[in-house]
Every structure is written in structure tokens, then in C-alpha cells.
Structure 1
């Protein structure tokens, strides 16, 4: 797929952005001069024959017309074949070039099999291998028959051998050019995928970090406001405001670390943060005391799951109680609310989908569903294959 895309995209020796010190303009000037230089062995004898008056008028006109059209096709073929064009158009152009080469070979005086080298170059550089073998192979087979039937008229067996050798070399060069184009197209695609993956990582991490931090800050700020409005416990209000300040500083630090890809999530730290956030929201929390029974390589992923689940409980569930349970390769968050994790999914799609992507990266799955008795249940579980592989 990438190879065909590379061939169709025109990335290669005569691409829109060719390598080298001359750049695009240099390539546009350089190739016509080289192409004309390569075509001089055909152009000079034709001009000499016409100037000498050895040809009749119609043959002189035919010789000039064929020579000009054949040479023009040879010079412009990089721009016609190395741009995104349908395969049928490219095959048609190469077939016309092959026909012109044979007309010159058969109709012009002194026409030899060497004239077929130019059409062989166009075919080898411009078509996929199958079509190159079909058109080029048919032409060379016809040339063998022609030299065998009319020896010496259009070239000797040695000339035919030279044409076959040059055509084979051109075929190899054409495959090399196609490979280079494919590799460049693949590199561009890899770079695009890398940029896309980094954007998705950044969006997912910022969603997880800011969503939880801002939700906790909102809950604590609301609690401090209510305490201040009642005036019953000003010391607790001051404590909550200090914690809001600390959370804001921590969130800023997390954002900077996420942007530089240095942030590490700890399941134990997320457990402490979940306890504080749920307490501030007056939600009874039943949480494990330690995370030692969770596999070390899964603790970071489970930390993200716990953070996102608790954030959504605070936002949507209107729950009174939350239970968190751990296992070696699984994690469950259960609430008794009316909304739950799935009641109001994030509009950007970075909530549960982001968690599912994180779990998929370690061979796990995420299940989120309504409980039969009310509330919501989120379960993250790693597939048994990971357990066996460890």
C-alpha cells in the first residue's frame, strides 16, 4: 500500500521536491538539458539526412515530425509519469512512446534497434514491474524477430544484445527509483503518524490531568465557600483553600511535565488524591489501604483509570458511596449514584475512550456499565495472556 502510494505520489528522482542543492527549479532545468543531450544520437543523423537531401519531401517531413515528437515525449515524461496520474494514462503514454520508437525504427533510413532504448527508459521509469515486463518484453521479443528476419538492416545481433543489456539495466534503475520513492513516502507517513500519536497522547494526558485536578479544585472551593457562608468553621475553610492552592500548583506542574513527557502516574498517589477529593465532596469512600497486590507494571495504567473514574463520579454521579477494589490484574470502581461514569461522556471523546486506549496498550480491556441495583461499575482488567507472558 505504501509502495503504490509512493509511486503515485511522484516522490522520487524528478519529484516536486527533489533532493540536491538545486531544488525544484534546478531539477526542472537540469533534466531537459540532459534529456536533449541523450537524444542527440537520434537528432543529429536525422538532421544530417534531411539537410543532405537524400530523402523525399514526405519522408523528410515524416522524419522531422517523428524525431521531434519522440524526443519531446522522452524529455517531458518525468513530469507526465511521476505525478499522481491514473495507471491507464501512464500505460497509454508509454504505449504511444513505444509505437513512435518502432515507427522510427521501421520508416527512417538507418533506423536501428538502438532507437528502442528511449521508449524502454520511459517504460522502465514510469510503470510498475508487470507493465514494464509486458510492454518492454514484447518490444524486445519483436526486435529479436526483426533482426533475425532482416539481419543487418536494423542492427546486428551484437546491437540487439546491447539494447537488451541496456534495457535490463534501465529496468533495475527503475525499480531502484520506485523503491526510493516508496521509502520516502513511508518516512513521510511514519512522521505523520508520529505527530498524530503525540497529539493524541498530549490530549489524553491533559484531559486526565486537568479534568481530575479542576474537578477536585471545584469541589474543594465549593466546600470552602459553604463553610465561610455558614461561619461555623473558618479554620476548615482556610484549610480547604490552602489545599486548593496546593492542587492548583500541582496541576500546573503536571501540565508542564506532561508537555515534556516526563510525568509519571502513581496508583498509590492517585488513591490518596481520590480519598481527599471524595471526602471534600462528602462522598463515603471505601478504598484499599495499599496497592501492593497490583502488578507493578500495571499500576500506572490503573492510576489513570482510578483518576478518570473518580473524576466522573464527582462530576456526574451524585453518589453517596464509592467502593474501589484492586486485584493483581484488575481494578473496579463502583458507585451508588444516578449518573455514573457513562452518564455524561466527555464531548471531546478523551474520557473512557482514552482509558480504553491505555488499557489496550498493555493488553487489557475496560468495561463500564450500569449496576442492576443502581449506580455505575467500571472494571479494568488485563487479559490472561499478559499474566502468562510474565
Structure 2
């Protein structure tokens, strides 16, 4: 009887895997207890009957190994745990039971050893509500067979039936739980990938959607003005070039490193974060007014400002305002304290602003709080 449990990796594929070559040999070790029936067959006075019993025992062992192999492989597939859907396993179990009966008929009392293997097979194949009464019935049968003329009381076999069945039931439970855990892990991983894909698509839409709309409108305007107002057309084309370069830079940052800061991406994440915190948000629909060299700084401003609003302010409303030389986050909450109190996040933002010739301004409103980065 096999008591081998193989630990299944959380990263195992959903498709069935090939059973390891050493697995069946561990199951074959327990066939040692069939040596007595084989020896009794060779020592039988009726040579034909004895050899028939030996052949039956060998076939019995082969069917047992086949059943074990099949159930173990099915458990490794994660989609059909042991004992849940008998299927072809029931046919193998009935075959094993029939061969067991034939062993006892041909070999007599030594053939009773087959009952332990039949009980274990029943636990492997049947649902618990059927396996338990089946094991009890097999144990009772082992005791009743001792009442036959010339047969001894088989208490040891009855005890072996119960003990082996309980042990294999524990193993089966572990295998099923592992299979369920791995399946749940795989489903969670699939959901996480789907959520990340949806979020990436949403953020990419936020990054490109308005920019492409503005680019399209400006391109149409330039086409109409090309013969009417060449100077205005040049200005629109220059603006069109800047917007397209900014959009391309945002997309590259999003693709190369999804967590890299982009101003449209931070606005998209701010909208999601404020909504999750049940804070009403008023956010700009575009970023085309922001010069390219200030976009990263303003993205940090939005991130730091919105983070402070969510963590410290207790606000009900938050507004982000963007302009060519200013980025501001306002709220109607209590704020982090006085304007002179600044954490490491604000200190880092002040350093970034100073590097670009801008300054950080924090202001207590009535009610609320304002965090702004202003270009001198």
C-alpha cells in the first residue's frame, strides 16, 4: 500500500504532469505482503490450482499498481482530486475485488491478504460516504472468514484493513487539500494578471486618450489654416509636435517601466486612490499645458499631494490643478498639521523642485490645505 505523498508546487502548471519514475516503486514496496499468497501457491498440492493462484496474485498486484498510478497522476493534474469522481477508477476497483475473491478461492486462507489492498483501493477511489462503510464491511468479512472450516481467526488482517485505510485516507485528504490550494493559487494568479491587464489598459487610455484627441483636433485645425494663416499654422504644428513627443515619452515610460512616474499615469492612479478612499476628486482632463521638462516634477507633486490627502487630511474633496508653471493639490480636510511641519516626502519634493528652479508652497486654507509646486 502506498503511503507516499508528493508535495505539489504552487507554481505547477494546470495541465497534467507525468508521474515521476520512482513513484510506482514506492507503491511496489507494499506488495511485499503478497509474498505469502505467492509462496502458498507454489507449495500447494494441486499444482494447477496453485499456479493459477500465483498468476492471479501477480495480476492483482499489477492492477493495484495501475490503480495507484492512475489516482496519483489524477491528483497531480489538480483538476480531478482523489476520491471525488471515481470514473475508470471504479472499474479498476471492481476488477481488484474480483481478483481478490479469485485469490481466496484458489489459495485459501493466504489469499485473505488481498483484503487490505482492496480496502485501500476503495479509500483511494470512493467518496468518504461510501468508502467508510466499504472498509468496515471488508474488515467484518476478514473476521467472518475465520469461521470457515480450517481457517484461523483473521483479527490481524481486519486490523490491517482499518489501519491502512485510515492512513491512506489521511494521505488522500492531504493530496486533495494541496490540489485545492494550488488550484486556488492559479485562479488568484489569473485574476491578478487580468486585473493588472485591465488596469494597464485603463491607465494607458488615460495617458493617451486625451493627448491623441487634442493632437487630432490641432492637426485638423492646422490643415484648415495652412492657406489662411501660415503663422498660426506654424504655431499649431509646433504645439502638435510637442504634444506628440510628450505622449510618446509617456507611453515609453509606461511600457518600459510601468511603475515609472508619468503625469497622466499619476492622475489616473490618483483618481483610483481617491475613489477607494471615498474622497470626491476633481482632476484635470489634460496635461498638454504642462511643459515637457516639468512633467516629472508635477507627477511627483500629484503623488505626494494625493498621498498626504488620503493619509492625513480626513478630507471629503480633493482637487488637482495644473498649469504651465504650477501644480497644486487642494483639499478641504485638516491637513498634516502646520505648514512648517514637513515629512521626508515633502522634503524630497522640495529638493526636486529646487533642482528645476521651482519652489514648494504649503498653505493652510479655510477649510483645507494646499500643496503646490510653483516655477519661479
What TM-score results when the alignment is normalised by the length of structure 1? Answer: 0.56
Match in the other structure for 2:121: 122
Match in the other structure for 2:194: 196
Q: Work out the CA distance in 1 between the residues paired with 2:144 and 2:11.
A: 40
Q: Work out the CA distance in 2 between the residues paired with 1:246 and 1:64.
A: 89
Match in the other structure for 2:25: 33
Q: Work out the CA distance in 1 between the residues paired with 2:216 and 2:266.
A: 24
Q: Work out the CA distance in 2 between the residues paired with 1:40 and 1:134.
A: 27
Q: Matched residue pairs, number?
A: 266
**Aligned CA distance change for structure 1 residues 273 and 29 (closer, same or farther; 3 Å):** closer
Match in the other structure for 1:213: 211
Q: Work out the CA distance in 2 between the residues paired with 1:191 and 1:73.
A: 38
Q: Work out the CA distance in 2 between the residues paired with 1:198 and 1:69.
A: 54
Match in the other structure for 1:270: 284
Q: CA deviation at 1:105?
A: 4.0
Q: Work out the CA distance in 2 between the residues paired with 1:140 and 1:127.
A: 17
Q: Work out the CA distance in 1 between the residues paired with 2:11 and 2:24.
A: 15
Q: Work out the CA distance in 1 between the residues paired with 2:33 and 2:11.
A: 28
Q: CA deviation at 1:217?
A: 0.8
Counterpart secondary structure, 1:230: coil
For residues 41-87 of structure 1, the C-alpha deviation after alignment (integer angstroms, 9 at most, x for no partner) is 21x33443333353341x22431232122111111124433437763
Matched ranges for 1:71-82 at <5 A: 71-81=61-71, 82=73
Q: Work out the CA distance in 1 between the residues paired with 2:30 and 2:104.
A: 17
Q: Work out the CA distance in 2 between the residues paired with 1:181 and 1:170.
A: 16
Match in the other structure for 1:95: 94
**Aligned CA distance change for structure 1 residues 29 and 189 (closer, same or farther; 3 Å):** same
**Aligned CA distance change for structure 1 residues 127 and 152 (closer, same or farther; 3 Å):** same
Match in the other structure for 1:164: 162
Gaps of 5+ in 1: 1-11, 277-291, 304-327, 329-390
Match in the other structure for 1:52: 43
Match in the other structure for 2:248: 252
Among 171, 179, 182, the alignment partner of 1:181 is 179
Match in the other structure for 1:339: none
Tell me if the contact between 1:63 and 1:108 (Cα under 8 Å) persists in the aligned partners.
Answer: yes
Q: CA deviation at 1:92?
A: 2.8
Q: CA deviation at 1:175?
A: 1.0
Q: CA deviation at 1:230?
A: 0.9
Gaps of 5+ in 2: 271-280, 291-308, 322-331, 333-376
What TM-score results when the alignment is normalised by the length of structure 2? Answer: 0.58
For residues 89-114 of structure 1, the C-alpha deviation after alignment (integer angstroms, 9 at most, x for no partner) is 22232233233334434542332654
Q: Work out the CA distance in 1 between the residues paired with 2:196 and 2:150.
A: 67
- Superposed CA RMSD: 4.1
Counterpart secondary structure, 1:185: helix
Tell me if the contact between 1:50 and 1:60 (Cα under 8 Å) persists in the aligned partners.
Answer: yes
